[in-house]
Amino acid sequence: MRAAVITNPGGFDAFEVQDVPDPVCGPDEVVVAVKASALNRADLLQRRGRYNGPPGTRNDIPGLEAAGIVESVGERVVGWKPGDRVMALLGGMGYASKVAVHERMLMPVPPNLSFEEAASIPEVYLTAYDALFLQCELQMGESVLIHAAGSGVGTAA
């Protein structure tokens, strides 16, 4: 497969498109053929050598969110099948043509969304949801003041 690989951390010339090994699909994972991925602050920091992905991920291929088509599923995967349109929250590798991702990190792409639109959703909207409803336990009828409404997460909140 092909991927945008960080070969020289720094400016816009940091990336080189290279052939890299295809992902291996684990028993609880889905391999997604990436049609679009998003660009966010962590990707920019990673390009400059100032951000590392989670343990076990390649630090030279960024991309925390992507959208595409399910290519294959692991033996324990339920609810997803080849051909499904999905968006994914990733630990990296969104800038590759394929990515293996745990089935719980996928969401269906509604028919009215393009892959480009869907790829921009997982990181910011799930971060906003986690902050508001899981961490702060925001309830119906309560209000919240969003100070950073100019950021992706602030806009999503």
Which tokens is 28 given? 């609880």
* Mean pLDDT estimate for the chain: 93
How does DSSP assign 11-28, residue by residue?
SGGGEEEEE-PPPP--TT
* pLDDT of 18 above 80: yes
Please state the domain extents for the chain: 2-119, 121-157
Give the Å distances, CA to CA, from 71 to 2, 45, 82, 91: 16, 30, 5, 19
Mean pLDDT value of segment 7-35: 95
Percent of the chain with pLDDT over 70: 100
Give the Å distances, CA to CA, from 55 to 14, 52, 58, 107, 150: 22, 8, 8, 23, 30
Q: Over the stretch 31-84, which tens digit does the pLDDT of each residue have?
A: 999 999 999 888 889 899 888 888 888 889 999 999 999 999 999 999 999 999
* pLDDT of 112 above 90: yes
Choice between 51 and 85, residue whose per-residue pLDDT is larger: 85
Percent of the chain with pLDDT over 90: 70
Q: Structure pTM?
A: 0.88
Mean pLDDT value of segment 88-116: 97
Q: What is the pLDDT of residue 36?
A: 98
Per 3-state DSSP, the chain is made up of helix, strand and coil in percentages (nearest 5) of: 25, 25, 50
The answer to whether the beta carbons of residues 85 and 69 sit under 8 Å apart is yes
Which of the listed CATH numbers 3.20.20.30, 3.40.50.300, 3.90.850.10, 3.90.180.10 matches domain 2-119? Answer: 3.90.180.10
* pLDDT of 149 above 80: no
Mean pLDDT value of segment 118-131: 92
State the pairing for strand pair 98-102/29-37.
antiparallel
